[in-house]
């Protein structure tokens, strides 16, 4: 069947689109952070002050607020620990000898983050710690449209690195400081989101950060935000050809980050720090360990990072900050505001791959910032989709279908019987396997398959418009569907509901191919519950190729011919409830070499075998 192999995969990258109209009116809370923090690099303990100016843009009066204290998850008996001990397929990084690494942490190795004092506009408030969440009963309610100032002193201890953040990573990075400060929980049109830190994910309030970090002067720091005092700091941030003289044992780094919902930093005494200026884009920073085995890869990574930045800016929307930093740290790859933490001991392809994925999150996790706990597939899936396209281009892979891995993963999940709907909360999947495939693979297929349904140009236009209309707005599933509907003129509710809220599968088949006088009668059947429109390729014995298109009635629309150099016949709609569908080929049966449903293989049909009819060998 080689000659039928997805030979018609058409280019994804359409033109550019200029869209202006805002068609969504979500309100957003706003919070400005001013923090002053001192870190003891020997004990990994830190303390700080936090002044938070919170603007209530909601229509509601708020009488309490919540903070995340993520580091409390890294203690024996925490929800994260207990979940780790009970889930069937725990994250291997968090286990040692089949046991939870959290369970065996000593007092000096655990993580913690505690509020010591808290006032609202100068008045003390009542606060209680419930695991990783601080519940605060306000001294006086914040009216709709009102503003309040919350001032806190806090103390923390950086845990041994178990997951994402922590001290002394496997690769020897001293401080991977993510999820490290008391972070105000988001309140949006769905209400509060005080999700306990069990495994994943994150949601936050946009605002301006002003952060001062004081630590041992030998440590180089990178992360979210622009350094405001480079001439006092040096460490590669100083102006070219200038010298910086420091005195004392510590340095105080002053960062500002506008309009972000998170603030990460990392520090190590052995970081190499390279600055890469893009011609027409943000300044890129690279911080990585001085390991002779990987320095060359980290140098080669730098122009590839610039290419990825340009690719995403062109295909999704303009990157809205002047800086992006790729920093060695953490335990794999994780996205943060204006930056990422990735492990560094990798082959070049893997290093570029993880950078591209984490950087793509800047658009989906950070600027669009869908609530990842509830709609994980809109973040991990869309990020996987666009980074697969990016890798195909910047690494010259030229795969016809760069998403094949996602389809393989999805089919494996369906066959395992462990699939749960994508609308499941990220922490509540029975297995990590079901979460991973639903979020990353099935989420990526949501878009690649949408391209099959509405056409590739319309898909790229949808992604562009979605970004422009919903940046800094926390979009929800209906928003990507509505955007695709507006761009394509088709009705797509069936696609959103079946694909994301159920485990219905797609299975169409060619039931029979029979002679019908001078013509050939083809009967197809719908075996799965999920509806789809169909592209059908017909190959004649003489090598001719033509296509047929069967629109789905409930779409009320037809896509453009995806194979413009082949003759296409648009057939009658297939109303979903009908289990079978017949059409006639204008050629006798003996001239038919093969018939194939969806030659692009972008439709996630769970049984590909029955998609093909091949004439008997003579
Ligand atoms: Zn990701």
- pLDDT per residue over 156-194, tens digit each? 999 999 999 999 999 999 999 999 999 999 999 999 999
What's the CA-to-centroid distance between 470 and ligand 1, angstroms? 20
For the cut 50, the answer to whether the pLDDT of residue 282 exceeds it is yes
> How high is the pLDDT of residue 4?
44
Measure the CA–CA gap between 603 and 517, rounded to whole angstroms: 33
Burial class (CB in 10 A: 0-12, 13-18, 19+), 42: exposed
Q: Which of 233, 229, 226, 281 is nearest to 257 (CA)?
A: 226
**How close is the Cα of 246 to the center of ligand 1, in Å?**
39
Å from CA of 348 to ligand 1 middle? 19
When pLDDT is cut at 50, 70 and 90, the band that residue 527 belongs to is very high
Q: How far is the CA of 384 from the centre of ligand 1 (A)?
A: 7
Q: Token pair of 20, please?
A: 């202006």
- Confidence band of 17 (pLDDT split at 50, 70, 90): very low
Among 213, 203, 258, which Cα is nearest to 233's?
213
Cα 442 to ligand 1 centroid, rounded to whole Å: 13
CA of 568 to the centre of ligand 1 (A): 39
In the reported structure, the alpha carbon of residue 381 is separated from the centroid of ligand 1 by a whole-number distance in angstroms of 8
Listed residue (166, 184, 202) closest to 69, CA to CA: 184
pLDDT reading at 617 higher than 90: no
Cβ neighbors of 463 (< 8 A, separation 6 or more) are: 315, 316, 382, 386, 447
Token pair belonging to 52: 């938070």
The overall pTM is greater than 0.75 = yes
CA 581 to chain centroid: 39
354 CA to centre of ligand 1 in angstroms: 9
Output the CA 374–ligand 1 centroid distance in Å.
Answer: 15
DSSP codes of every residue in 166-214: EES-TT--SEEESS-S-EEPPEETTEE-----SS-------EEEEEEEE
Report pLDDT for 618: 62
pLDDT one-digit tens code per residue, 132-144: 999 999 999 999 9
List pLDDT tens digits, range 462-511. 999 999 999 999 999 999 999 999 999 999 999 999 999 999 999 999 99
Q: What is the 250 CA–ligand 1 centroid distance (Å)? A: 35
289-341, pLDDT tens digit by residue?
Answer: 999 999 999 999 999 999 999 999 999 999 999 999 999 999 999 999 999 99
Q: Ligand 1 mean position to 151 CA, how many Å?
A: 33
Contacts of 390 (CB under 8 A, 6+ apart): 308, 311, 312, 315, 356, 360
What is the whole-number distance in angstroms between the Cα of residue 481 and the centre of ligand 1? 21
Those residues whose C-beta lies under 8 Å from the C-beta of residue 82, and which sit 6 or more positions away, are none
Predicted confidence at residue 400, as pLDDT, reads: 84
* pLDDT over threshold 50, residue 1: no
The rounded mean pLDDT for the chain is 95
| pLDDT interval class at 6 (50, 70, 90) | very low
For 78, phi then psi, to 5°, come to -70, 165
CA distances from 169 to 215, 263, 444 (A): 19, 19, 30
Q: Using the mean position of ligand 1's atoms as its centre, give its distance from the Cα of residue 335 in Å.
A: 7
| Gap from CA of 485 to ligand 1 centroid (Å) | 26
**Among 173, 201, 197, 170, which Cα is nearest to 92's?**
170
For position 446, what pLDDT does the model report?
A: 98
Determine the distance separating the centroid of ligand 1 and the alpha carbon of 380, expressed in angstroms.
5
Instruction: List CB contacts of 521: < 8 A, sequence separation 6 or more.
Output: 512, 513, 514, 515, 582, 583, 584, 585
Q: How far is the CA of 356 from the centre of ligand 1 (A)?
A: 10
Comparing CA positions, the residue from 615, 588, 616, 610 lying closest to residue 598 is 610
Whole-number Å distance, alpha carbon 192 to ligand 1 midpoint, is: 24
Q: Return d(Cα 480, Cα 474) in angstroms, integer.
A: 11
pLDDT at position 19 over 60? no
Residues above pLDDT 90, as percent of the chain:
93
Quote the ligand 1 centre to 203 CA distance (angstroms). 14
Q: Say how many Å lie between the CA of residue 379 and the centre of ligand 1.
A: 7
* Rounded distance from Cα 360 to ligand 1 centre (Å): 8
What band does 397 get if pLDDT is binned at 50, 70 and 90? Answer: confident
pLDDT of 88 strictly over 70: yes
* Sign of torsion over alpha carbons 120, 122, 128, 129: positive
For ligand 1, the distance from its centroid to the CA atom of residue 438, given in whole angstroms, is: 13
Cα 358 to ligand 1 centroid, rounded to whole Å: 6
Band (399; pLDDT cuts 50, 70, 90): confident
CA of 499 to the centre of ligand 1 (A): 20
User: Distance from the CA of 145 to the center of ligand 1, in angstroms?
Assistant: 35
CA of 440 to the centre of ligand 1 (A): 8
pLDDT over 60 at 580, yes or no: yes
Mean pLDDT of 32-39: 98
Cα(439) to centroid(ligand 1), Å: 9
How many angstroms does the Cα of residue 85 sit away from the middle of ligand 1? 24
Output the CA 432–ligand 1 centroid distance in Å.
14
Predicted confidence (pLDDT) at residue 349 exceeds the cutoff of 90: yes
Prior bond to 201 cis, omega within 30? yes
């Amino acid at each position: 069947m080689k000659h039928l192999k997805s030979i018609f995969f058409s280019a994804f990258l359409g033109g550019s689109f200029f869209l202006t109209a805002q068609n969504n009116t979500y309100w957003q809370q706003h919070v400005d952070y001013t923090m002053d923090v001192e870190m003891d690099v020997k004990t990994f303990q830190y303390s700080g002050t936090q002044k938070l100016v919170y603007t209530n843009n909601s229509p509601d009066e708020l009488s309490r607020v919540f903070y995340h204290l993520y580091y409390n998850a890294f203690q024996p008996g925490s929800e994260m620990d207990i979940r780790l001990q009970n889930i069937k397929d725990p994250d291997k990084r968090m286990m040692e000898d089949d046991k939870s690494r959290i369970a065996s942490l000593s007092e000096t190795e655990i993580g913690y983050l505690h509020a010591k004092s808290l006032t609202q506009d100068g008045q003390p408030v009542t606060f209680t710690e419930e695991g990783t969440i601080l519940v605060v009963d306000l001294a006086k309610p914040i009216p709709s449209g009102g503003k309040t100032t919350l001032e806190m002193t806090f103390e923390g201890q950086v845990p041994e690195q178990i997951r994402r953040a922590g001290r002394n990573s496997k690769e020897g990075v001293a401080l991977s400081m993510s999820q490290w400060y008391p972070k105000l929980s988001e309140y949006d049109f769905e209400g509060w989101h005080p999700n306990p830190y069990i495994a994943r994910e994150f949601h936050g309030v946009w605002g301006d950060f002003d952060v001062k970090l004081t630590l041992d002067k030998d440590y180089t720091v990178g992360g979210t935000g622009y350094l405001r005092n480079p001439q006092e700091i040096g460490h590669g941030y100083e102006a070219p050809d200038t010298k910086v003289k420091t005195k004392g044992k510590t340095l105080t780094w002053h960062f500002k980050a506008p309009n972000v919902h998170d603030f990460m930093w990392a520090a190590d005494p052995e970081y190499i720090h390279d600055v890469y200026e893009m011609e027409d884009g943000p300044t890129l920073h690279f911080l990585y360990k001085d390991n002779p085995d990987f320095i060359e890869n980290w140098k080669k990574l730098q122009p590839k990072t610039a290419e990825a930045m340009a690719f995403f800016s062109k295909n999704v929307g303009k990157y809205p900050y002047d800086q992006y930093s790729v920093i060695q740290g953490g335990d794999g790859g994780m996205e943060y505001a204006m930056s990422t933490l990735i492990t560094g001991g990798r082959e070049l392809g893997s290093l570029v791959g993880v950078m591209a994925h984490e950087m793509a999150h800047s658009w989906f996790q950070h600027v669009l910032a869908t609530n990842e706990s509830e709609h994980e597939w809109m973040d991990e899936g869309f990020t996987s989709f666009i980074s697969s396209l990016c890798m195909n281009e910047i690494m010259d892979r030229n795969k016809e279908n760069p998403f094949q891995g996602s389809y393989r993963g999805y089919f494996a999940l369906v066959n395992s019987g462990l699939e749960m709907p994508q609308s499941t909360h990220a922490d509540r999947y029975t297995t990590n396997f079901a979460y991973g495939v639903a979020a990353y693979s099935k989420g990526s297929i949501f878009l690649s398959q949408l391209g099959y349904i509405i056409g590739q140009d319309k898909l790229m236009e949808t992604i562009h418009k979605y970004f422009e209309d919903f940046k800094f707005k926390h979009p929800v599933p209906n928003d990507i569907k509505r955007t695709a509907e507006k761009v394509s003129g088709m009705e797509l509710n069936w696609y959103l509901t079946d694909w994301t809220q159920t485990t219905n599968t797609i299975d169409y088949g060619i039931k029979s191919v029979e002679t019908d006088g001078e013509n050939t009668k083809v009967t197809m059947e719908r075996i799965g519950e999920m509806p789809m429109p169909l592209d059908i390729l017909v190959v004649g014995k003489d090598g001719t190729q033509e296509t047929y298109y069967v629109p789905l009635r409930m779409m009320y629309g037809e896509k453009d011919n995806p194979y413009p150099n082949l003759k296409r016949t648009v057939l009658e709609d297939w109303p979903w409830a009908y289990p079978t569908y017949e059409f006639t080929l204008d050629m006798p049966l003996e001239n038919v070499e093969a018939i194939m449903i969806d030659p692009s293989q972008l439709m996630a049909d769970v049984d590909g075998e029955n998609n093909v009819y091949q004439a008997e060998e003579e």
